[in-house]
Amino acid sequence: MSAQTLRDLSGLDQTASTLADATLILVDYQNTYARGVMELSGWEPALDAAADLLARARRAGAPVIHVVNDGGPGTPYDITAEIGRIHPRVAPIDGEPVVVKQVPNGFVGTDLADRVDAAGRDRLVIAGFMTHMCVAFTAQGAFLRGDHVTVVADACATRPLKSAVGEVSAAQLHDSALATVADLFGVVVASAADLN
């Protein structure tokens, strides 16, 4: 069995972006995922890694765009309530825009594409919550636009799920989502230290 990816077979660039030449997109680092019904497995170390990634990006002068999911009033994704706000460890500072989305792909129905284009870089570094959902779909959306995507694995997390064929652990789902991204949509690196 071949271990070649579709990226390999298509001759796509396998080079990870550096923070000096990319825009950082942080996806759904909301309090939603740190407590309650949507609490993710491993969210604390992933948030630590995200805070490190963000600090490195700011030091490198990379444009930073935050993306949040708005599920509306009373939901775990209510961005007008504390539960739906961006976690304070990775909160935006002045000049860092926040894009509000309502579907997993951050480019659908938002101005994320315009903001990426305005930053003037077609290389994107993406990390966030949940790996198998909004991170993977936003990476796909960026790829379909023609952007070069790098996803930072340890700054992402997800939760276990059940399916018709059995239970899938959070670790299995996380790894599978990253393998899907790496197969075609982008380059996956273990941590921010791999972006130098």
The DSSP line for 165-184 is: TEEE-HHHHHHHHHHHIIII
Asked if residue 11 has pLDDT above 90, the reply is yes
The answer to whether position 150 is within a domain reads yes
Mean of per-residue pLDDT scores for the chain: 97
The answer to whether position 105 is within a domain reads yes
Range of the domain at 41: 6-190
Beta-bridged to residue 69, according to DSSP, are 101
The answer to whether position 132 is within a domain reads yes
Name which of 91, 66, 80, 78 is nearest 38 in CA terms. 78
The answer to whether position 196 is within a domain reads no
Q: What's at 173, amino acid-wise?
A: L
Q: Which two tokens stand for residue 7?
A: 């990226």
Q: Which two tokens stand for residue 181?
A: 């991204």
92-131 confidence digits (pLDDT tens): 999 999 999 999 999 999 999 999 999 999 999 999 999 9
Domain count, the chain: 1
Burial-class residue 12 by CB neighbours within 10 Å (0-12, 13-18, 19+): middle
The answer to whether position 96 is within a domain reads yes
39-62 confidence digits (pLDDT tens): 999 999 999 999 999 999 999 999
120-142 confidence digits (pLDDT tens): 999 999 999 999 999 999 999 99
Looking up residue 11, the CATH number of its domain turns out to be 3.40.50.850
The answer to whether position 1 is within a domain reads no
Work out the pLDDT band at 2, boundaries 50, 70, 90.
Answer: low
Using the CB atoms, write b or e for 106-115: b if 16+ within 10 Å: bbeebebbeb
The answer to whether position 37 is within a domain reads yes
Q: Is the pTM of this model over 0.95?
A: yes
Q: What is the mean pLDDT of residues 77-97?
A: 97
Work out the pLDDT band at 159, boundaries 50, 70, 90.
Answer: very high
The answer to whether position 195 is within a domain reads no
Instruction: Give the list of residues 6+ apart from residue 84 with CB closer than 8 angstroms, or none.
Output: 30, 31, 32, 68, 69, 70, 71, 75, 76, 77, 78
Q: List active site positions.
A: 134
